[in-house]
Amino acid sequence: MPRGPVDMNFLFTLGELQRLVRAYADRQAARYGITRAQWAVLAKVERFEGMKQTELAEQMEMQPITLTRLIDRLCENGWIERRSDDSDRRVNRLYLRKAARPLLAKLTGLKSELTATALEGISA
């Protein structure tokens, strides 16, 4: 089936929408003193507590050094902690700290707000 300008316009619009949603999420996350990337790390660690740092890097399709910097900042803020693996001392496992729970609750509300804003005007 041939593809015409409608397909290209749709893909362009979809890409632009993604960029706008990311920018909006960045601004809104900043209200809580966190970046969108840090938020994504917190959300993953919440879902998969105890995962290896290398596993998280793979899941997030992120270079390990980039993730290490994000985790360093989250540790400094008291939201995540690294724990050594019992069977391999080279491995760090990631766990949420108690201080992260209230922030994650606020971010869950923000996620709902972002979703509602993105879908505003669209009916099922």
Please count the structural domains in the chain.
1
Domain contains 82: yes
Q: Is 64 within the bounds of a domain?
A: yes
Give domain status of residue 43, yes or no. yes
pLDDT digits (tens, 9 = 90+) for 93-120: 999 999 999 999 888 888 878 777 777 7
pTM above 0.85, yes or no: no
Q: Can you give the residue range of the structural domain that contains 92?
A: 31-111
- Sequence-distant (≥ 6) Cβ neighbours of residue 57 within 8 angstroms: 63, 64, 67
- Quick: pLDDT tens for 41-75: 999 999 999 999 999 999 999 999 999 999 999 99
95 closest CA partner among 80, 107, 110, 75: 80
Separation between Cα atoms, residue 93 and residue 2, nearest integer Å? 50
CATH number for the domain spanning 100: value is 1.10.10.10
16/58 Cα distance (integer angstroms)? 26
Residue 121 lies in a domain: no
**pLDDT at residue 22, as a whole number:** 86
Structural domain includes residue 54:
yes
At residue 124, the pLDDT reads 62
Q: Is residue 80 part of a domain?
A: yes
Whether 2 is covered by a domain: the verdict is: no
* Angstrom distance (rounded) from CA 66 to CA 76: 16
